[in-house]
Structure 1
């Protein structure tokens, strides 16, 4: 196999073909004549910026010479001032193959992993998660101090990146990351515990949610009592928020387990924030949020205890919200439990229900908890309508619930959907039966290939 001509050889060939002098080519590329001449003669180092200018001047794709740049300019002389801009550019252009080649060269030198970590942090913030994951993984593998904060932070970032629609993968990511929490900076520990709690909340692991929430509260109270935090590290939220959020999670745990008396204690705790010392606008914003959530959680407690008189107040709160599926889930669940007629409420929010879209956010609560709640909502709504004899719409909701259960790999909810369908199978028309059987076969095949992961769903 013949070797590809060098970048310089291709430049020389292009200049001859086009009849261009080095000065003329310099005008085209924005490079001075001396730079062009030095690069062509091979006695001048070339930056990635200069390479991009040359490539554009030759009317070639931006990354046309990148593989040869690694061979000619990096493998022979790995200098960070040249490598760093090249890695950023490779990430921007999606050339992960070139990133991998360069990184594998650099890992032989102990000075480079910390620098690669900084690049990983930058590209992670910019949303290039595939490249960031590769860099974090390589930095983690090179970390010789197994209790280092950098190793823990790499694992935290990998945990965040790996979270997706598949509940089995999310659970595995949470299990693998959990041992690294204590090695993080004390501020990062709070966000890590919050994120782990929200993942287990989406999996309905309520005992684990409670354990994580209480640990987050304990650590946040300690820091808040000290009235300080690392000047180089600020929490993503005010410190008191983690304390109040732990109580909000405690209320969610009690709600899920049907313990509304204890749940009321946690609701009152995140409603009364008179102990908060700060009074700046951000603090007031968060206090307002928690007090609003407390009002709605009081409504939930009353509703789930069978008090239907609270529905008008609950609906009034919902009308001011953009995302209402958690509230609708509570209403439909109460309707099924206590045989309530909620048709007028469903009619009022029919446009929002019909226009439902999967939430998109980097926040793990929005990313994980809301899709799970939406899947359960469609199941509860299917049950409500099927019991009332509204079969076409009830089956439509049930098939939607099954599809969403499959998407998030909630095998237990998918099984529950199947049980409800069998209960009303005799009422399904042939078209619905065919649609359901096709989807259920897809769900079965998918779960059969995943070694039988199942999750509890109370």
Structure 2
């Protein structure tokens, strides 16, 4: 078996091959001769910064010695967090998760390192190293002895945030796994967690769950708002910083509850919730951020009152609704409502679609940055193109209608939305005789990919089930 030379031996060989003295090499890599001498002779331990300097000086890949560094400087020495911590960060920066995992396994033998590993996880999560952060959170959570600790709850929350994306099945599982830990979070962080859970269930059209978590968020938000403005604690700010002003969580809860009620056909109850964020005279803050969100919610309350009436079948408010949305920058949800009215009540909305033609063209590409966008807006893009396809096909505009339907179908497959996939293909079959052969082939090709993907999931059935 070939014996791998030590780092020390490789450096010595390099210096001989290049005819370099330790002083010359030290100048090259910006390390003093004493440090280089100590490392080369094996009389001095080496930090990862020094290792990186030596590796760069030898014109080798930055992680070239990392596996040997673990063996020689970590596994064979007493554990030293001051030395190990910078190495973990470098492993993460360079994508060496295998090296990260080797060291973390060593550290987990001593529970005293859990807080330090958790801190690393939090830092790298903030820096966007999600894969490494997920591994660290998972390991910390598995090693946490106190099942009701806030640290465990935060680990589960971060894992939930990392997992949530465009796949609905993954999102649902992530929400189910995280939900039991919400009430173990700090009460301020609970607000954001409840908001995120409600948004996930909203994207899944699971309206009872949306109402449940939104209602919890609203109650908790009211309690925290009262504590902040209570006469005995007036001016006391929450210990943790929220992503929005505190009052926003209260009114967003009302908005979500209204959405859930409208979706379930409870329009009168929805209207009560809309009134809950229409009157914001109780909000005490007067800073610019607060005033911005107050204007937003009051505008949304006005628009959503129109939506509520439209969904109840009052088409007379459609012109006023269109005039109000014309002043808005983001009108995807509003145009969705216009198309729903058109399809449900057989209303001609050609003039409205022409008016917003430029915005409609931009909706072919959906952004996917934050959690809300990935869950809620991506689905709304699919639903928009499905509804405009349905409207166009019913109007006999087959070329444009099938083009829109193809956009919806492809996006529905991307986010694994079973209902929208079925609706898209069902609409295609309904108008299939009007589709060109090329269009028919495209739809059948996509559907066959869906079938092959799902067919592979249908495995064996074990005895006793």
Residue 163 of structure 1: CA displacement? Answer: 0.7
Distance 1:285 1:119 in 2: 36
Q: CA deviation at 1:90?
A: 1.0
Tell me the SS of whatever aligns to 2:431: helix
| 1:456 equivalent in structure 2 | none
* 2:446 aligned residue (436, 439, 449): 439
CA offsets per residue over residues 252-307 of structure 1, 9 Å max, x none? 11221233322222112112111112222222122122112212212322333344
> Residue 257 of structure 2 contacts residue 273 of structure 2 at CA under 8 Å; is this kept in 1?
yes
1:225 aligns with 2:226: yes
Q: Which residue of 2 aligns with 1:153?
A: 154
The answer to whether the Cα contact below 8 Å between 2:191 and 2:221 also exists between their aligned partners in 1 is yes
23-32 or 302-311, which deviates more: 302-311
Q: What residue is the counterpart of 2:344 in the other structure?
A: 337
Q: 1:360 aligns with which of 360, 368, 371?
A: 368
Q: Please name the residue that 1:242 is paired with.
A: 249
Does 1:252 pair with 2:259? yes
Task: Give me the whole-angstrom Cα distance separating, in 2, the residues matched to 1:317 and 1:450.
Answer: 47
Which deviations, in whole Å up to 9, do the C-alpha atoms of 1:413-445 show, x marking residues without a partner?
211222211211111121111111111111222
Asked if 2 retains the 8 angstrom alpha-carbon contact of 1:199 and 1:369, the reply is yes
| Paired position in structure 1 for 2:357 | 350
Which whole-Å CA distance do the structure 2 matches of 1:442 and 1:349 have between them? 34
1:171 maps to: 172
Query: How far apart are the structure 2 equivalents of 1:323 and 1:384?
Result: 22
Aligned length: 451
Task: After TM superposition, list the pairs within 5 Å mapping 1:117-196 onto structure 2.
Answer: 117-196=118-197
The change in CA–CA distance for 1:40 and 1:416 in structure 2 (over 3 A counts) is same
Superposed displacement of residue 321, structure 1: 4.1
Alpha-carbon displacement from aligned partner over 1:371-406 (angstroms, at most 9, x marks no partner): 111111111111100100001111111122111111
Structure 2 partner of 1:202: 203
**C-alpha contact (below 8 Å) 2:303/2:325 kept by paired residues:** no
Cα deviation, residue 28, structure 1: 0.7
Q: Is the 8 Å Cα contact of residues 411 and 447 (structure 1) preserved in structure 2?
A: no
Distance in 2 between residues matched to 1:321 and 1:19, nearest whole Å: 71
Q: Which residue of 2 aligns with 1:455?
A: none
TM-score, length-scaled by structure 1: 0.94
**1: CA distance between counterparts of 2:19 and 2:331?**
67
Aligned to 1:294: 301
The one-character-per-residue Cα deviations of 1:332-356 (angstroms, maximum 9, x if unpaired) are 1111112122112222322332232
CA contact (8 A) 1:360 1:366 kept: yes
Q: Does structure 1 conserve the Cα–Cα contact (< 8 Å) formed by 2:368 and 2:378?
A: no
Residue 71 of structure 1: aligned partner: 71
Aligned: 1:97 with 2:98: yes
- The alignment status of 1:284 with 2:291, answered yes or no, reads yes
Aligned partner of 1:5 in structure 2 is 5
1:266 alignment counterpart? 273
Structure 1: gaps spanning 5 or more residues: 453-458
Aligned to 2:56: 56
Q: 1:191: Cα distance to partner? A: 1.1
Residues 46, 256 of structure 1: CA spacing in aligned structure 2 closer, same or farther, 3 A cutoff?
Answer: same
CA RMSD of aligned residues (A): 1.7
Q: What SS does the aligned partner of 1:111 have?
A: helix
TM-aligned CA deviation for residue 312 of structure 1: 4.3
Cα shift at 1:194? 0.8
Q: Which residue of 1 is the match for residue 398 of structure 2?
A: 391
